[in-house]
């Protein structure tokens, strides 16, 4: 299958995004395995920022490469998958770019721009609708974090979930750095160094599971020595 697609774009710094879209354009369906990953997350902010910048730059590269003929891509993917591709690749970058410029002023307007008691019904209805949209978006950010912590049994991390709106400010910074880097150094590959945090929570979970698997499979008994 990979040979039929001629592999992937070796100049794309987020090769899984490029390959995933190539497979979809060729008519294949891309899915994921319902399993956990034990890959170590970046330990320091600098490493995290370099990694996210590379991801965002690769999303832009993939969008530009496979969007050169948008009508042909739309026909090959179909309307639903085309909208999914738009939301996942360029949509991720665009939303990150504008996140702080919309979140901050929008929150200020919601808090300080409330209609007065003499305002009409339409003004109050509009303000209530704006709060509904804002809170709905906020819950879309927070609920997956709470659910993930609960399923993993990491309840001691739940107090950090409300900080996700601030976390996405850093994602926005990575998106802007990706735009700058795409213009200046389009093929620079920011490698992510791993193996720095051997005592990480994810690493400990992986080691514990490996130990459990070893305990569940006892070593074979040695054969008795021949007599004489």
* Burial (CB count <10 Å: 0-12, 13-18, 19+), residue 38: middle
H/E stretch holding 86 = helix 79-88
Stretches where the chain sits below pLDDT 70 are: 195-228
Binning the chain into helix, strand and coil, the percentages to the nearest 5 are: 65, 0, 35
What local confidence, expressed as pLDDT, does residue 201 receive?
Answer: 60
What's the sign of the alpha-carbon dihedral 179, 180, 184, 189? negative
What local confidence, expressed as pLDDT, does residue 111 receive?
Answer: 81
Q: How far from 94 is each of 39, 87, 135, 148, 191, CA to CA, in Å?
A: 27, 9, 21, 26, 24
What local confidence, expressed as pLDDT, does residue 120 receive?
Answer: 80
Tell me how far apart the alpha carbons of residues 180 and 57 are, in angstroms, rounded to a whole number: 9
What local confidence, expressed as pLDDT, does residue 149 receive?
Answer: 92
Tell me how far apart the alpha carbons of residues 103 and 167 are, in angstroms, rounded to a whole number: 13
Query: Locate tokens 């160094």: which residue?
Result: 193
What local confidence, expressed as pLDDT, does residue 164 receive?
Answer: 95
What local confidence, expressed as pLDDT, does residue 43 receive?
Answer: 79
Tell me how far apart the alpha carbons of residues 190 and 56 are, in angstroms, rounded to a whole number: 12
What local confidence, expressed as pLDDT, does residue 90 receive?
Answer: 95
Best CA proximity match to 174, nearest among 6, 56, 60: 56
């Amino acid at each position: 299958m990979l040979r039929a697609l001629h592999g992937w774009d070796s100049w794309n710094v987020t090769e899984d995004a490029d390959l995933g879209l190539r497979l979809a354009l060729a008519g294949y369906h891309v899915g994921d395995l319902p399993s956990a990953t034990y890959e170590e997350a970046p330990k320091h902010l600098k490493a995290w920022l370099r990694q996210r910048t590379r991801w965002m730059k690769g999303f832009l590269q993939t969008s530009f490469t496979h969007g050169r003929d948008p009508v042909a891509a739309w026909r090959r993917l179909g309307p639903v998958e085309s909208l999914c591709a738009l939301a996942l690749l360029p949509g991720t970058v665009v939303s990150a770019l504008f996140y702080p410029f919309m979140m901050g002023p929008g929150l200020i307007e919601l808090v300080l721009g409330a209609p007065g008691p003499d305002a009409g019904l339409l003004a109050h209805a509009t303000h209530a609708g704006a709060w509904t949209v804002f809170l709905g978006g906020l819950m879309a950010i927070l609920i997956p974090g709470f659910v993930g912590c609960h399923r993993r049994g990491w309840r001691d991390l739940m107090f950090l979930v409300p900080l996700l709106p601030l976390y996405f400010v850093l994602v926005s910074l990575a998106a802007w750095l990706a735009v700058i880097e795409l213009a200046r150094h389009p093929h620079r590959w920011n490698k992510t160094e791993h193996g720095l945090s051997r005592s990480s929570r994810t690493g400990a979970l992986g080691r514990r599971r490996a130990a459990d698997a070893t305990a569940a499979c006892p070593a074979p008994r040695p054969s008795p020595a021949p007599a004489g």
